[in-house]
């Protein structure tokens, strides 16, 4: 089987039959239709009646693709771990932490092999930043077809990450002058031997700048779903760069030629060639309306609109809101401090005194002047959809 070189300390987690507890857990995080609900046994109806509104939408069950609801994202500026979206290329590996080591090799003077305890003993960097799946919004793009997960708005979250900076490890290893790229190799693998492993690489300049090797998320140990025992956090880039379950870091002269680098995660125009298409890297400027929610009914008077906005390394400079389908725009105010790579909470208010149906729209602008488009440019993979968010609201008593 084509397993990664460090498969001595990893196996796929076993899959148990679906018992009552597992069934309820899955049902609680999945939006069920009326037909499905009618087929549930009485005990499930009683249990669901006492269950809160689901915070996660299951887009795929194995490997796990779970999307946060907008309602869950809107509760706090920092997204709790249990409602943070989950995206895995392959099934979650079960790692033997006692045997696990992080290896740093390649174009270095002194290769390293570090245990998790040794990594925890290093100086810790704390970083709050957005992670967004490159395919977030794919399900909303007007594509003829695509094989990717049909995410809508919630394959994104803003969490606190902690661990040593990658630059510290690279300095200890001693990077050679010909080194230009850093490769991340993970321990997850596909059940089918012919499927290539997941490998990402980033330019060494980015690796030395701000990348964190996180063992902690939101103040507690990283969970298996989110990459335990260690994952990369590449701030300002789409989430596929923030490789989970890392076991090896290679310093090389060239970028990785892995399938997910050479052909996947590229802005390929319909009918275009992936080899010549631009790679998916930095986040695009984007905003999300978290209140009011789609289809909300609000009494006439003051209508408060709020949400979050984020961008890549340039950061968000402005958010504007419209309730007249873009005819006019009103600047929103930010709350809290501006933190590099974290999203910014924003809010504004409108007076709507007479009953009517309105469409609320929000657009963000980054510090380089890039403005969120009405409709993002199509690409065959459905990546980087930063189209303006629209929410339809019924204003009446």
| Percentage of the residues of the chain whose pLDDT score is greater than 90 | 78
Given a cut of 60, is residue 356 above it in pLDDT?
yes
Q: How confident is the model at residue 82 (pLDDT cuts 50, 70, 90)?
A: very high
Q: Per-residue pLDDT for 168 more than 50?
A: yes
Report, as an integer, the average pLDDT of 55-75: 96
Strands 389-395 and 297-298: parallel
Average pLDDT over residues 80-97: 96
Of 90, 231, 74, 73, residue with least CA distance to 156: 73
pLDDT band at 8 (very low <50, low <70, confident <90, very high): low
| Beta-sheet pairing, 10-12 with 56-61 | unpaired
Q: For 147-161, write each residue's pLDDT tens digit.
A: 799 999 999 999 999
Helix 20-28 with 42-49: angle, nearest 10 deg: 50
* pLDDT reported for residue 329: 98
C-beta pairs of 170-173 under 8 Å, 24+ apart in sequence: 170/104, 170/108, 170/204, 170/207, 170/208, 170/251, 172/110, 172/112, 173/104, 173/108, 173/109, 173/110, 173/111, 173/112, 173/251
Per DSSP, 240 falls in state G
Band of the pLDDT at 191, cuts 50, 70, 90? confident
218 pLDDT band (50/70/90 cuts)? very high
pTM over 0.85: yes
Residue 28, token pair as written in the block: 């609680």
Better pLDDT: 146 or 250: 250
pLDDT digits (tens, 9 = 90+) for 266-305: 999 988 999 899 999 999 999 999 999 999 999 999 999 9
- What domains sit in the chain, N to C, each tagged with a CATH number? 19-54 (no CATH), 93-279 (3.90.420.10), 286-395 (2.60.40.650)
pLDDT digits 0-9 by tens, 248-266:
999 999 999 999 899 899 9
Residues 305 and 347 sit within 8 Å (Cβ to Cβ)? yes
Q: Scanning the structure block, which residue is given the tokens 């990348």?
A: 211
Burial of 12 (0-12, 13-18, 19+ CB in 10 A): middle
Q: Which pLDDT score is estimated for 271?
A: 85
Above 50 in pLDDT, residue 369?
yes
- Quick: pLDDT tens for 12-51: 443 333 333 344 444 444 444 333 444 555 555 444 444 4
Q: Find out whether 94 and 9 touch, Cβ atoms under 8 Å.
A: no
């Amino acid at each position: 089987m084509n397993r990664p070189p460090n498969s001595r300390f990893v196996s796929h987690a076993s899959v148990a039959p679906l018992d009552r507890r597992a069934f309820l857990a899955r049902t609680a995080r999945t939006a069920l239709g009326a037909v499905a609900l009618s087929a549930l046994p009485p005990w499930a109806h009683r249990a669901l009646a006492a269950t809160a509104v689901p915070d996660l939408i299951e887009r795929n069950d194995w490997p796990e693709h779970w999307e946060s609801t907008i309602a869950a994202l809107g509760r706090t500026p920092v997204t709790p771990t249990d409602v943070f979206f989950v995206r895995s290329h392959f099934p979650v590996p079960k790692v033997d932490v006692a045997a696990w080591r992080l290896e740093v090799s390649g174009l270095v003077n002194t290769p390293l092999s570090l245990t998790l305890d040794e990594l925890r003993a290093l100086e810790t960097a704390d970083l709050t930043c957005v992670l967004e799946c490159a395919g977030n919004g794919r399900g909303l793009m007007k594509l003829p077809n695509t094989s990717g997960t049909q995410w809508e708005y919630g394959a994104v979250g803003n969490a606190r990450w902690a661990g040593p900076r990658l630059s510290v490890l690279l300095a200890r290893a001693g990077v050679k002058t010909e080194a230009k790229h850093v490769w991340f190799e993970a321990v997850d693998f596909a059940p089918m031997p012919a499927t290539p492993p997941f490998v990402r690489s980033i330019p060494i300049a980015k690796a030395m700048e701000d990348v964190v090797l996180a063992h902690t998320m939101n103040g507690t140990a990283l969970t298996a779903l989110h990459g335990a025992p260690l994952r990369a956090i590449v701030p300002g880039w789409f989430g596929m760069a923030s490789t989970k379950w890392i076991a090896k870091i290679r310093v090389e002269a060239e970028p990785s030629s892995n399938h997910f680098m050479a052909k996947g995660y590229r802005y390929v125009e319909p009918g275009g060639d992936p080899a010549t298409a631009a790679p998916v890297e930095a986040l695009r400027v984007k905003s999300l309306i978290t209140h009011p929610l789609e289809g909300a009914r609000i009494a006439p008077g003051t209508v408060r609109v709020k949400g979050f906005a984020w961008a890549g390394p340039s950061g968000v400079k402005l958010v504007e809101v419209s309730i007249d389908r873009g005819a006019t725009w009103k600047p929103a105010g930010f709350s809290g401090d501006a933190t590099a790579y974290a999203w910014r909470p924003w809010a504004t208010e409108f007076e709507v005194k007479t009953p009517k149906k309105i469409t609320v729209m929000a657009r963000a602008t980054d510090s380089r002047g890039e403005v969120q488009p009405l409709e993002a440019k199509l690409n065959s993979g459905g990546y980087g959809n930063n189209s303006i968010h629209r929410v339809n609201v019924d204003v009446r008593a």
